[in-house]
Amino acid sequence: MDYLKLLYLPVFVFVVSFLVLTIIRKSLIKIFLKFAEKTETALDDIVLHAIRKPSLLWIFALSLDIAINFSKIPTQYISITSKIIRIIIIISITFAFGNLAGMLFNTSLKEKAVPIPNTGLLQAIIKVTIYVVGLLIALNYLGISITPIITALGVGGLAVALALRDTLANLFSGIHILVEKAIKVGDFIRMDNGVEGFVEDITWRTTRIKTVQNNFVIVPNEKLVQSIVTNFDLNDKKVSVPIKISVSYDSDIDKVEKILIEVSKSLIGKVEGLVADPEPIVRFNPGFGDSSLDFTLVCYAEEFKYNFLIQSEIRKAVFKRFREENIEIPFPQRVIHMKQN
């Protein structure tokens, strides 16, 4: 009962201290937020976001420390409470550094145009590493030897690595893809097995590719790294759009070339993605077919995603113009001569 009476004053001091410090914390956050809005750098916003939640633990620890100074409880209990306070501070600082490092790394990669997947793969790895270091520091402060723990983690880690070989291979392949920047979210790629589409996401295990048919192909990161990949958006996103067009052998090839150039140029600015530079060109290639004269009209698109739209619109316009000019589009035919005895 005597011990309970001794706690009245410390508890009262703790509650009052916590409330006062919470009010001061809120006021300081508002002041710093207004200051951060006026600055061009994002660093102050990141720091504020990183320490916002851990600062509550700092207030709790400081209030507890103030309350102890007003207490008359036995020394052994004060010693235990002091250890708890220090552990709380170590944990809160660890969380603050983990959040800060993760967000800074995330921001840095975005500024360098490196895509971060929705799962936050790299950010999570950094956070977990810092959290583990913080936990080991806390255990060391409590007098718990961390050498056996590190040894156990090493042996256990080796066993886990062997058991999860495929998973870890995909994880490190995903990191390799992100760091190398040869493939980014939004790129149109084609794998050597024929899979092609837009990269929608790169997660810790797989890469999601959205095909032009609006389906998703899930590719393990390791398979993607091992494949020969064509990236249509790696440097210049402009791509050529070759369109094969056939006419009858009765056609004037110069007139056909002129019409194809005129039609393709007339659609620039009308068909989304069709660009004027480089200019459309026509080549009499592959040339002499079995039943037709074959030309190739080459236009250029801003991005690969406009490829099919441009082909469709140009074919429709060419078909209408050929009808107006009485240019025949032949169908396959063969002439058979029967030998008579």
Taking only the tens place, the pLDDT of each residue in 29-41 is 888 878 777 777 7
When pLDDT is cut at 50, 70 and 90, the band that residue 168 belongs to is confident
CA distances from 339 to 208, 243, 290, 336 (A): 61, 40, 22, 10
Kindly report the length of the chain.
341
Q: Which one, of 312, 300, 172, lies nearest residue 237 by Cα? A: 300
For 190, left (φ over 0), alpha (ψ -120 to 50), or beta? beta
Helix (H, G, I), strand (E, B) or coil at 309: helix
Q: What is the DSSP string of 95-126?
A: HHHHHHHHHHHHHHHHHTT----TT-HHHHHH
When pLDDT is cut at 50, 70 and 90, the band that residue 289 belongs to is confident
- Residues 179 and 114: their CA atoms lie apart, in Å, by 7
Rounded to an integer, the average pLDDT of 319-325 is: 91
pLDDT of residue 165: 66
pLDDT digits over 172-208, tens only?
788 778 777 788 888 888 898 888 888 888 877 888 8
For 128, left (φ over 0), alpha (ψ -120 to 50), or beta? alpha
Residue pair 256/296 in contact by the 8 Å Cβ criterion: no
For 245, left (φ over 0), alpha (ψ -120 to 50), or beta? beta
Nearest 5°: phi and psi at 292? -155, 165
Residue pair 227/192 in contact by the 8 Å Cβ criterion: yes
Looking up tokens 């893809």, which residue turns up?
177
Q: Which one, of 103, 108, 160, lies nearest residue 126 by Cα? A: 103
Contacts of 178 (CB under 8 A, 6+ apart): 109, 114, 115, 116, 117, 121, 122, 202
